[in-house]
Amino acid sequence: MNAIFTTPPRPFDVTALFPRLAPLARTATRLHPRPGSPTVHDSSVGGPLLWPADEPWPYCEEPHDRRAALRINSPDDIRLQRHVLAAAAERRHLDPEAPQRTREEQETWDLIAAGRPWFDGPIPLVPVAQLYSRDIHFPCPSDADLLQVLWCPFDHEMAHPKTALFWRSSATVTDVLETPPEPPIVQDGGYLPEPCLFSPEQVTDYPNPSELSEELRDQLDDMSHWETIDPARYSMYADDPGELYLNNLSTAPGWKTGGWTRWSPTDPVDRSCPECGTEEVPLLTIASSEWDGGSATWIAEEDRTTPAPHHLGAKDGNFTLIDITGGNNLQLHVCPSSPYHPHFELLQ
């Protein structure tokens, strides 16, 4: 695990204003991924997996669209590009007048910019996340204590990477695959996670307004219900208190397990399990950022006082360097009857 991160208390207790929200509270676990050097025994983003040596590595056999990528690069190209960016950031931090890139770095950059030839064949999946139940609370089958999430680093029919979930008992893995195959090319650098460790923290989620009753939504939009609150706490939302609830009081942003579904920009859609019909529940949110301009109250206290370093060119809060179709989240839902049933992917 990484250092401790603490979400500030919500601006006020929303259930004191709207008591009917109290029974709808759900526990979510914010994961707070930060750059690190995970091992196969750690819960992580983009780290090595506790993968059995005698189990075949999964591949995506579906066709991939070369037109979807602006430039074709290999994982090593992207890592080298990130190294060049980090070196430049460090150099210019020490000397603001230093060149953006050295001659050698520029030559490397130009080679990467030239791209790679297209590869038309099965693509090895990329490790996205590994979660041990000893570290993180999430819906887990009784015969497993480890969840491994991989994806194909190309857009599929829903314009996002296609994910695969693997549940296993860590105690049964005695011989670990040391060198998993890597895809020869990826569609985008945002589909190659930067290795990070987690800092789990439990918080309380409330439903997105679109999942509330019409009566409760009307109450949220009624200014008279907010008059007991210090106006300074919601002045920027004075014309739309519903946005105050949406951005600061309902669903926590960023990487998390559990909680409520973070609907935006679409309205709720059917999440029925294709195998048994049970409504699937949030398992894991894979986020392009820990916060955005509308959710600044969720920034961890530690990030306010001692901001964690991030890569040059990455937006604030994007420590994993994942970027899903322009900064969206990919929320994975599982069937509460059995996590082994097909899971549901939601791009928001």
User: Mean pLDDT, to the nearest integer, of 162-176?
Assistant: 97
Q: How many CB atoms lie within 10 A of CB 188?
A: 21
Whether the per-residue pLDDT at 270 is higher than 60: the answer is yes
Mean pLDDT of 165-177: 97
Q: What is the C-alpha separation between 323 and 131, in angstroms, rounded?
A: 20
pLDDT single digits (tens) 56-115: 999 999 999 888 777 789 999 999 999 888 888 888 888 888 888 889 989 988 998 888
Q: Would the pTM of this model clear 0.85, i.e. be above it?
A: yes
Helix (H, G, I), strand (E, B) or coil at 346: strand
Distance CA 38, CA 45 (A): 8
**Contact status, residue 232 vs residue 226, Cβ threshold 8 Å:** no
Q: Give the tokens for residue 50.
A: 């506790």
Task: Please give the pLDDT value at position 232.
Answer: 65
The proportion of the chain whose per-residue pLDDT surpasses 90, expressed as a percent, equals 63
Backbone angles phi, psi at 203, to 5 degrees: -135, 175
Output the average pLDDT for the chain: 90
What is the amino acid identity at position 311? H
Which CATH homologous superfamily contains domain 14-65+125-347?
Answer: YwqG-like (2.30.320.10)
Q: Which helix (H) or strand (E) holds 105?
A: helix 103-113
* Domain residue ranges of the chain, discontinuous segments joined by +: 14-65+125-347
CA distance linking residue 340 with residue 348, whole number of Å: 24
